[in-house]
Amino acid sequence: MSSAIIQAKNLCKTYSSEGVATAALCGVTFSVAKGEFISIMGPSGSGKSTLMQMLGMLDRPTGGEYLFEGKNINDYTDDELAKIRNKKIGFIFQSFNLLPRTSVYENVELPLLYDDDHLEMNNEEKIMKALRSVGMEHRVDYLSNQLSGGEKQRVAVARALVNDPEVIFADEPTGNLDSKSGLQVMRILQELNNQGHTIILVTHETYTAQHAKRILQVKDGKLVGDAIVTNRLIAKGEGELLK
């Protein structure tokens, strides 16, 4: 598949701590084309977050090969990986991971500060564009702890997309949200996918997973299913987003 942005070949991850080895992932092979929207599903402890950390280059596999945009990540140093990650990948987590007592603006600015190439560009414009796209521009001067859970997650989405990444990874992004806020986040992810971003969503909820176009099933660290979503759900909501 020439347009594959992600290729995992026999990917394995064994954690070792204090003499105890845990095989969290083993023999996982699949690829993702640019522009796909994939859900990774599976029960708690099945290896979903581990897989996301490998694919997002937050951690290295202990076996197999991982190619991002056709290049083997083993050929990169940790510093090089960090640069690629910052430029090409956005992350959204269940617990939002915003800096506490820090403004919405500064939270969204963070990825730009790590990116040498962006130092001279107009950061404010990018930050406001990202905030507008998740309907949060009116909260730009709020501190992160003054926001509701749904608002926090929308700010986290703005932070994930401020660098205009190729791929957005979301690990249980609706896990801490009420159903209305969760649907808002799913709607934003679908809009981002319509605009061309590749989305990889980790969830244990079937309903959430069905907003994707393809579902991978993980069980006991192995890939046990890979299917196109036939009755895809489209999240609708009030107000205009992503103008």
Ligand X SMILES: Nc1ncnc2c1ncn2[C@@H]1O[C@H](COP(=O)(O)OP(=O)(O)O)[C@@H](O)[C@H]1O
Binding region for ligand X (CB under 6 A): 15, 17, 22, 24, 42, 44-50
Is the CB of 47 or the CB of 111 nearer to ligand X? 47
Contacts 24+ apart (CB under 8 A), 58-63: 58/85, 58/91, 59/13, 61/11, 61/12, 61/13, 61/25, 62/12, 62/13, 62/14, 63/10, 63/11, 63/12, 63/13, 63/14, 63/26
Q: Which one of ligand X, Mg ion, none is in contact with 17 (Cβ closer than 5 to 8 A by kind)?
A: ligand X
Residue pair 196/219 in contact by the 8 Å Cβ criterion: no
Is the CB of 2 or the CB of 17 nearer to ligand X? 17
CA distance 123 to 148: 25
Q: Does 49 bind Mg ion (CB under 5 A)?
A: yes
Q: Which one of Mg ion, ligand X, none is in contact with 44 (Cβ closer than 5 to 8 A by kind)?
A: ligand X
Is the CB of 162 or the CB of 215 nearer to ligand X? 215
CA distance 89 to 44: 24
Is the CB of 147 or the CB of 170 nearer to Mg ion? 170
Q: Does 153 bind Mg ion (CB under 5 A)?
A: no
- For CA atoms 100, 103, 104, 107, give the dihedral sign: negative
Shortest Cβ distance from residue 49 to Mg ion (Å)?
3
Binding to Mg ion by CB under 5 A, coded x per residue (else -) over 101-130, reads ------------------------------
Is the CB of 49 or the CB of 193 nearer to Mg ion? 49
For Mg ion, the nearest residue by Cβ is 49
